Amino acid sequence: MQLAGYTAQVLGLDDLVIDRLNVCVHWNDEESYMWAEVLLASPFEFDLEYMRRHAVEEEVAERLEEALAEAGRS
């Protein structure tokens, strides 16, 4: 993204959910799982195919599916 002549990297919501699940799974931080759920329960659109593929790579696929189900997005 360009802003006032500067380039900024912006983290997408899809990646933010996966990041929170990474912290939850690999650092045993259940509060991060709650934030993933909150994001998934929001009205924003998510690329579920991308998220599922990324979750497998990051070894958080099981927790992603749990969060999607709890958010009504399964």
Q: What are 15-73's pLDDT values in tens digits?
A: 999 999 999 999 999 999 999 999 999 999 999 999 999 999 999 999 999 999 999 99
**pLDDT level of residue 12 (50, 70, 90 thresholds):** very high
Domain boundaries, the chain: 11-70
pLDDT at position 32 is 97
Q: With residue 14 as reference, give the H or E element that holds it.
A: helix 13-27
Helix axes 13-27, 61-70, angle to 10 degrees: 120
0.75 exceeded by the pTM? yes
Q: Indicate the SS3 state at residue 47.
A: coil
The tokens for 57 are: 């790579």
**pLDDT level of residue 74 (50, 70, 90 thresholds):** confident
